[in-house]
Amino acid sequence: MQVLTPLFHVFVFPGFLFLIAFGLFASWVDRKLVAKMQNRVGPPLIQPFADLIKLLAKEDIIPESANRAMFAVAPLVAFAGVVASAIYVPMWSAQAANSFQGDLIVVIYLLTLPAFALFLGGWYSTNPFATIGATRVLSQLFGYEVPFFLACLGPALAGGSWSISEITAAQADGGWFIAAAPLSFIVAMIALIGKLERVPFDIPQAKTEIVSGPEVEYTGKRLALWKLSFLAETIVASALIAALFLGGPHFWGIPFGDMPAWLAGLVGLIVLAVKILLIVFFLSLTRAALARIRIDQMVEWCLLWLGIPALVNLGIIIFTMS
């Protein structure tokens, strides 16, 4: 049993299978919302699953001039990093599948792996468009990652812990940290768009400019793995923000303590899923309303207009706690 439980967490819930299923569903919600905002019908529910099956059935090609080992392993590293981070984020209760003091830093680190892997995969594919996209990935990383980290420090200081589970538990009575760190929450939400490379920060992939950038040479199963990596990162990063600022699986007025453990876990998972979908709604809204900006504008804007408010909010929290 001691061996089976960790394997279940990694491969079934909250890991591999759960992230794929919920990620595909969130993708459908995103595409449907954007379609409605643009007065279109949008795809049917089964469309993301059909797209995945289609990619998995296609031929997997490695360019002759590419570094075969790096080209092949990059999407695996990206997906493995996201799946590993999921087991440290509370999904059904305040206690994550695995938890320790400092797991917040580990999760933030693991969520940067898709960007580094995308850079390496694009760079070593030797395609000119992929090379340009890879350099944009790295440049953009320095723009959003610092504000995102500073934003996550707000709840950590407010909760007096570096453990995501302990930060979530501190909000169980309804005192969500979005009230203590509103600027940090806004910064985290905007920086999340950069992490996921979505409009207006989809600069590294810019299909109308560099033909999907680092992914241009990927086909078949490896391209599907890239798509799944970013879908899974959407779920994990949204769950992280929900856990840090919105109480995670907790919600006011729900008597979790009076429920059987299995029912409390199920209700907590539903509550968290609703919060994740609300974050996806925000991502869809920005995608429908905004246009892509230049890479230099993105880096400058993130460091100036996200970094400074995040630092100000940290100062406010430290002052009020002293």
**Residue among 260, 241, 77, 233 nearest 152 (CA):** 241
State the Cα–Cα distance between residues 132 and 102, nearest whole angstrom: 35
State the Cα–Cα distance between residues 79 and 19, nearest whole angstrom: 10
Q: Which residue has the tokens 């959407």?
A: 234
Q: Is the pLDDT of residue 255 over 80?
A: no
Confidence grade of residue 2 (pLDDT, cut at 50, 70, 90): low
What integer is the mean pLDDT of 10-31? 92
Residue 294 is classified by DSSP as -
Q: What is the pLDDT of residue 80?
A: 93
| Residue 117 CA to its chain's centroid (Å) | 15
**Residue among 211, 210, 213, 191 nearest 201 (CA):** 191
Q: What is the pLDDT of residue 4?
A: 78
What integer is the mean pLDDT of 261-269? 88
Q: Is the pLDDT of residue 264 over 80?
A: yes
Q: What is the pLDDT of residue 254?
A: 79
As given in the structure block, the two tokens for residue 180 are: 């203590």
Q: Is the pLDDT of residue 208 over 70?
A: yes
Q: Is the pLDDT of residue 294 over 90?
A: no
- Give the length of the chain: 322
Question: What confidence tens digit (pLDDT) does each residue in 53-63 have?
Answer: 999 998 888 88
Average per-residue pLDDT for the chain: 89
Q: What is the pLDDT of residue 81?
A: 93
CB atoms within 10 A of CB 9: 20
**Residue among 223, 226, 196, 182 nearest 287 (CA):** 196
State the Cα–Cα distance between residues 287 and 281, nearest whole angstrom: 10
Q: Is the pLDDT of residue 1 over 60?
A: no
Residue 40 CB partners (closer than 8 Å, separation 6+): none
Instruction: Give yes or no for a contact between 291 and 199, defined as CB atoms under 8 angstroms apart.
Output: yes
Confidence grade of residue 22 (pLDDT, cut at 50, 70, 90): very high
What integer is the mean pLDDT of 271-287? 94
What percentage of residues in the chain have a pLDDT greater than 70?
A: 98
Q: What is the pLDDT of residue 298?
A: 84
What integer is the mean pLDDT of 213-238? 93
The least confident of 106-115, 210-219, 226-235 is 210-219
Confidence grade of residue 211 (pLDDT, cut at 50, 70, 90): confident
Question: What confidence tens digit (pLDDT) does each residue in 117-173 have?
Answer: 999 999 999 889 999 999 999 888 888 888 999 999 999 998 889 999 999 999 887
Q: What is the pLDDT of residue 180?
A: 86
Instruction: Give yes or no for a contact between 75 and 218, defined as CB atoms under 8 angstroms apart.
Output: yes
Confidence grade of residue 174 (pLDDT, cut at 50, 70, 90): low
What integer is the mean pLDDT of 33-46? 92
Summary count for the chain: helices (H), strands (E):
14, 0
| Domain boundary assignment for the chain | 55-321
Side chain identity at residue 223, one-letter code: L
